[in-house]
Amino acid sequence: MPAATPPDPTLAESVTNVPSHSQIAVIGGGIAGLWLASQLSRAGYSTRLFEKTALGQGQTLASQGMIHGGIKYTLEGFTTTASETIAAMPSVWEAAIAGHGPVDLSDTRCLSKDYFLFSDSRITSRVTAFFGSKSLRGRIDALDRNDYPAALQHPDFKGLVYRLQDLVLDTGSLLETLARPLRPHLYRSETTLALDAEGRVRTISTDQGPVTADYVILAAGEGTGELLANAGIQQPAMQLRPLQQVMIEGELPELWAHAVSLSAAAKPRVTITTHHTADGRTVWYLGGNLAETGVDRSREAQIRFARTEMKALFPWLNFDAMRFDTFFVNRAEPAQDNHHRPDFPFCHQQQNLIVCWPTKLTLTPMLGNQVSNLISAPPDHRQPEQLSLPPAETGASPWEQAFGADTSAGNVRP
């Protein structure tokens, strides 16, 4: 019997060096990347996701978790493109939370099913009349004092209160819900793209080595700009709109509300959401005009300004006994004329590369549908090969970093 022919080592090497393949590779582990990975995986596509730090560690965990219907864009007394684009989004999210839709969010914790809008003084009669008009019926309701949230029941509060159709989600819970079924294929790794002569993504370099995919989806928020630049891709261009959010920790009532006034013109003066650290501390997280204008102030000046605003809005609360801190975050978006806020989610396809920004947490389901419509290949209904990369874990919220039991942030009490 002839001796067996030894294996060809050259052939063995060539086989083992074939990059591991999946139909979909998502780069970026915030809400956009996880939603897209979940939606496409549920549709039967073999899907991997790569995140360079931690899931949500950027805009998602820094967001206030509001799923809003655009009323805050109508404060000048008329509807806008932004307000109408976003109007149906709360019902879309509610369906997903009920277990219906392209992703299953039934395990996501809802912080509040009510969101409020209150005036620090009488707002203009035009805006008041508009809020009661047929065009906003079902989206906003004026409340009697007995129905005000507890935080606004104090006799010193003299303004008006409206209830919106909006809801607020725990973004950490949202990320965990989306990540759970994807866990075997969520990886922590730096990535770079290598293109062929036609501009098609040939390989994705990871910390383990190259991988390939039929479609590569860039959903890395601010990191998308660097990924595009490193690949020599000039379009689409990205813009950054910064915020300096404020956090207050102390004996605070729960409140989820926009504070509006004539002084803040067409934007909420302050947007307030309530959160809790893992060890039970209550935190108000402040956005709105306060955060937008805060980018021009130092941390210390922003804290002084926020304290003044809070004392003006809630003079019955003792903010001198509370701790303040701030958090800078960039909103990454497709570049717009005059650096304006985009009204729609954005996705752009170049060969097998899809670049996307949801532009707002609320619009993520709309982005999911846009991207899904660009995937023309049929799903293979397979699980991709496991890679020997570390898993991508969920990040920490700004308030957990500032006030949690395991931190000693430089927050201040006057």
Tens digits of per-residue pLDDT, 114-139?
A: 899 888 655 544 444 444 444 344 56
The domain spans of the chain are 18-403
Superfamily name and number for 18-403: FAD/NAD(P)-binding domain (3.50.50.60)
Tens digits of per-residue pLDDT, 398-414?
A: 999 999 876 544 555 54
Tens digits of per-residue pLDDT, 165-186?
A: 889 999 999 999 999 999 999 9
Q: Which range is least confidently modeled, 103-107, 247-251, 264-268, 357-361?
A: 264-268
Which has the closest alpha carbon to 377: 182, 215, 217, 219?
215
**What is the model's pLDDT at position 68?**
73
Look up residue 298 and give its two tokens: 């130092």
Which has the closest alpha carbon to 293: 306, 280, 274?
306
Q: Is the pLDDT of residue 106 over 50?
A: yes
Report the distance separating Cα 35 and Cα 41, nearest Å: 10
**What is the model's pLDDT at position 337?**
85
The model's pTM: 0.88
Mean pLDDT of 230-235: 93
